[in-house]
């Protein structure tokens, strides 16, 4: 399985400027393709203090802001204030951004009582948008508060760029409708939070014949009624890394409280930490478990359980796989 890791950088504050709007540059004549020169990866800022970055005011969900890259590589930041469990898409758009601009996009927060946005990058992207522009299709912001959205660029071409924030699910949806029958869950993988990773690592150091994995997935959900556990399980089992569990004819379903006793003792610290980390009431969480057993030869029996944990309010699916083997 692919296991994500988080990149950590230092942060602080500086300056204030602002702008809105923006119009696209003329497209090439005759439908020609825009040729974009290869640019280096736009890395996160090593520091946001000492004039290294400008704060440019406020970005709102459903709105956009514009600025200019100037003549050198730099970073600019915008504050985004949201309710708990808001899901947004962030994009440096082709509309309103000059040709040849190469951007990176980073999200930090929420802002704490000391005025810090923290050191952990919650979401980031380099070139997923148009050309070498940046796009984060899904950012699930679990806690209410003020977040910092940073745009960086490697080539100061003196051209405009436009940053847009769109609501895709959760608390920002006005007058949401009920979910259609059998509405599917579409999963996007994200790095595990450091506190959960530390608990997982501690459990994995306990004994050599028991090992567990924990992966985080988010799903955009703009409806008033929650996603179903069956839909979440179907989305997990559709992924190739979990295909070995598809043949379990009778998976178990648990309330979250009952699930704790099914966890190996050394990993049970994860049980309260998972809903707490995502601001979810544990009473809302549900678990579906799949089992497989196989042998790799004499004294080589393996037992594995795939536990799919649905957090319906915070729009997360945590996949906790615990394994044991004969020694």
pLDDT digit string (tens) for 145-193? 999 999 999 888 999 999 999 999 999 999 999 999 989 999 999 999 9
Same domain, 234 and 149: no
Quick one: tokens of 135? 């796009």
Specify the pTM.
0.84
Whether residues 199 and 165 fall in one domain: no
Residue 80 lies in a domain: yes
Same domain, 289 and 220: yes
For residues 162 and 265, membership in a common domain is answered with: no
299: left (phi over 0), alpha (psi -120 to 50) or beta: left
In a domain, residue 179? The reply is: no
Other CB atoms within 10 Å distance of the CB of residue 300:
11
Q: In the prediction, which pLDDT does 168 show?
A: 98
In a domain, 11, yes or no: no
Least confident of 32-46, 58-72, 75-89, 278-292: 32-46
Q: Say whether both 166 and 215 belong to one domain.
A: no
The rounded radius of gyration (Å) of the Cα atoms in the chain is: 22
What are the structure tokens assigned to 285, written together?
């969480």
In a domain, 72, yes or no: yes
| pLDDT score of 24 more than 90 | no
**What's the pLDDT score for residue 23?**
39
Average pLDDT, the chain: 87
Task: Provide the Cα torsion 120, 125, 126, 131; round to 10°.
Answer: -160
Give the pLDDT band of residue 4 (cuts 50, 70, 90). Answer: very low
Q: Is the pLDDT of residue 50 over 70?
A: no
Q: Is residue 73 part of a domain?
A: yes
pLDDT score for 170: 97
Q: Is 130 among the domain residues?
A: yes
80-109: average pLDDT: 96
Q: What is the pLDDT of residues 218-249, one digit of tens each?
A: 999 999 999 999 999 999 999 999 999 999 99
In a domain, residue 163? The reply is: yes
Q: What is the DSSP letter of 195?
A: H
State the Cα–Cα distance between residues 9 and 134, nearest whole angstrom. 19
Q: Are residues 151 and 282 in the same domain?
A: no
Residue 229 bridge partners (DSSP): none
Q: Are residues 139 and 263 part of one domain?
A: no
pLDDT band at residue 26 using 50, 70 and 90 as cut-offs:
very low
Q: What pLDDT is stored for residue 154 in this prediction?
A: 85
pLDDT (mean) for 41-46: 80
Res 52 pLDDT > 90: no
**Domain identity same for 161 and 34:** yes
Range of the domain at 275: 188-325
Looking up residue 275, the CATH number of its domain turns out to be: 3.40.1000
CATH number, position 128: 2.60.120.380
Rounded to 5°, angle at Cα 161 from 157 and 166: 160
- Of 17-26, 34-43, 54-63, 233-242, the poorest mean pLDDT is in 17-26
Rounded-to-integer distance, Cα 282 and Cα 314, Å: 11
Contacts 24+ apart (CB under 8 A), 264-268: 264/203, 264/210, 264/212, 264/322, 264/324, 266/202, 266/203, 266/206, 266/207, 266/210, 267/199, 267/200, 267/203, 267/212, 267/320, 267/322
**End position of a domain, from candidates 107, 137, 170:** 170
Average pLDDT over residues 276-302: 91
User: What are residue 153's DSSP bridge partners?
Assistant: 74, 103
Instruction: Note the pLDDT of residue 53.
Output: 64
What is d(CA 242, CA 249) in angstroms, rounded to the nearest whole number? 15
Per-residue confidence at 6, pLDDT binned at 50, 70, 90? very low
Average pLDDT over residues 250-262: 97
| 99: in domain | yes
User: Are residues 159 and 199 part of one domain?
Assistant: no
Looking at 170, 201, 227, which one is the last position of a domain?
170
Give pLDDT, residue 49: 56
Domain shared by 146 and 48, yes or no: yes
10 vs 302: which has the higher pLDDT? 302
DSSP for 56-122, written as a single string = EEE--TT-EEEEE-TTS-EEEEEEEEE-TTEEEEEEE-STTS-TT--EEEEEE----TTS---SB-S
| Residue 55 tokens, joined | 């704060």
**Are 157 and 201 contained in the same domain?**
no
Are 318 and 252 within one domain?
A: yes
How much is the average pLDDT of 81-89? Answer: 98
Alpha helix stretches (DSSP H) within 174-228: 194-204
Predicted confidence (pLDDT) per residue in 112-136, tens digit? 999 888 889 999 999 999 999 999 9
DSSP 191: P
- At 165 the three-state DSSP class reads strand
pLDDT class of 38 with cuts at 50, 70, 90: low
Domain boundary among 139, 170, 201: 170
Total domains in the fold of the chain: 2
Q: How many residues does the chain have?
A: 327
Q: How confident is the model at residue 299 (pLDDT cuts 50, 70, 90)?
A: low
């Amino acid at each position: 399985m692919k296991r994500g890791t988080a990149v950590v950088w230092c942060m602080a504050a500086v300056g204030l400027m602002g702008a809105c709007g923006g119009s696209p540059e003329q497209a090439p004549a005759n439908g020609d393709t825009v040729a974009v020169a290869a640019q280096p990866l736009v890395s996160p800022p090593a520091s946001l203090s000492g004039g290294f970055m400008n704060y440019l005011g406020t970005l709102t969900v459903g709105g956009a802001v514009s600025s200019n890259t100037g003549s050198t590589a730099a970073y600019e930041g915008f504050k985004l204030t949201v309710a708990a469990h808001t899901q947004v898409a962030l994009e440096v758009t082709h509309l309103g951004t000059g040709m040849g601009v190469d951007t990176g996009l980073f999200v930090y927060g929420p802002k704490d009582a000391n005025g810090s946005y923290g050191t952990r990058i919650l979401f980031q992207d380099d070139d997923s948008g148009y050309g070498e522009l940046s796009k984060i299709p899904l950012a699930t912001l679990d806690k209410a508060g003020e977040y910092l959205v940073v745009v960086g660029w490697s080539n100061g071409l003196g051209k405009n760029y436009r940053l847009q924030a769109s609501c895709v699910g959760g608390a920002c949806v006005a007058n949401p409708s009920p979910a259609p029958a059998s509405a599917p869950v579409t999963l996007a993988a994200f790095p595990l939070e450091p506190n959960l990773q530390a608990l997982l690592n501690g459990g994995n150091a306990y004994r050599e014949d028991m090992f567990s994995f924990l992966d985080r997935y988010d799903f955009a959900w703009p409806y008033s009624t929650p996603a179903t556990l069956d839909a979440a399980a179907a989305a997990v089992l559709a992924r190739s890394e979990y295909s070995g569990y598809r043949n379990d004819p009778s998976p178990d379903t648990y309330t979250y409280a009952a699930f704790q006793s099914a966890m190996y003792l050394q990993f049970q610290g994860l049980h309260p930490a998972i809903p707490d980390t995502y601001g979810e009431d544990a009473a809302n969480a549900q678990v579906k478990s799949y089992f497989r057993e196989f042998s790799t030869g004499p004294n080589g029996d393996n037992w594995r359980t795939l536990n799919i944990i649905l957090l319906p309010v915070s729009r997360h699916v945590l996949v906790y796989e615990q394994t044991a083997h004969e020694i």
